[in-house]
Amino acid sequence: MNKVAMVVGLTLLSVTGFAQKEISGVTPAKKIEISGAKLVFNGAGLREKMFLDLYVGTLYVSSKSSNATTVINSDQSMAITIDIVSGLISSEKMIASVNEGFENSLKGDTAPIKEKIESFKNAFKEEIIKGDHFVIAYVKGVGTEVHKNGRKIKTIEGIEFKKALFGIWFCDEPADEDLKEGMLGKS
């Protein structure tokens, strides 16, 4: 009888260990597929500012990693999903945050990819509302795809752009340190 109880207990533990945790009303998927790339959940976290929940960021990868430098430099397919959980985020605020993020990621040297940054920011010109779902996916051999609510908006080529972009969340001065740790699966 004790063996049966132990097996049932271990089974329940393993099943609950794989359950995704809800964050600010968002339960990240265990797996996603973007342009044929099958990606697995790496981690998720909450972007907060002045104690306000803004969005849930989730990292999906081909191969799990808790190392920020590895995530930034990897030439493997991966994606960050952004689920807007606040009505306080506007297109203008998102673009300003993206500007600041690229400045931090590239330590102020944005000139070499300025045109690609401008193209990326254009993906956020449409009104942003609570409940919007963005997917920012690097697809190996294709480039960085930006999707909003299931609709592909644009593709930006180049691994150097991808590195700078993912640096927004994973560089030494990330958008939000707790979000970074969450997406790396450390919290």
**What DSSP assignment string belongs to 111-144?**
GGGHHHHHHHHHTT-S---TT-EEEEEEETTTEE
**pLDDT of 158-177, one tens digit each?**
999 999 999 999 999 999 99
Average pLDDT over residues 40-61: 95
Average pLDDT over residues 45-62: 95
Q: For residue 91, how many other CB atoms are within 10 A of its CB? A: 14
Residue 2: per-residue pLDDT: 40
Residue 27: per-residue pLDDT: 96
Measure the CA–CA gap between 177 and 172, rounded to whole angstroms. 9
Is the CB of residue 12 less than 8 Å from the CB of residue 3?
A: no
121: amino acid identity, one letter: K
Kindly report the pTM of this predicted structure: 0.88
Q: For residue 154, how many other CB atoms are within 10 A of its CB? A: 13
pLDDT of residue 50 exceeding 60, the answer is yes
pLDDT of residue 3 exceeding 80, the answer is no
Residue 17: per-residue pLDDT: 39
**pLDDT, mean over the chain:** 90
pLDDT of residue 139 exceeding 80, the answer is yes
Residue 134 token pair: 């963005």
C-alpha torsion angle, residues 81, 85, 88, 94 (rounded to 10): 0
User: Which of 73 and 5 is assigned the larger pLDDT?
Assistant: 73
DSSP state of 23: B
pLDDT of residue 129 exceeding 60, the answer is yes
Measure the CA–CA gap between 89 and 94, rounded to whole angstroms. 7
Residue of 172, 186, 175, 183 lying closest to 69 (CA atoms): 172
Average pLDDT over residues 90-101: 96
Domains and CATH numbers, the chain: 32-183 (3.50.70.10)
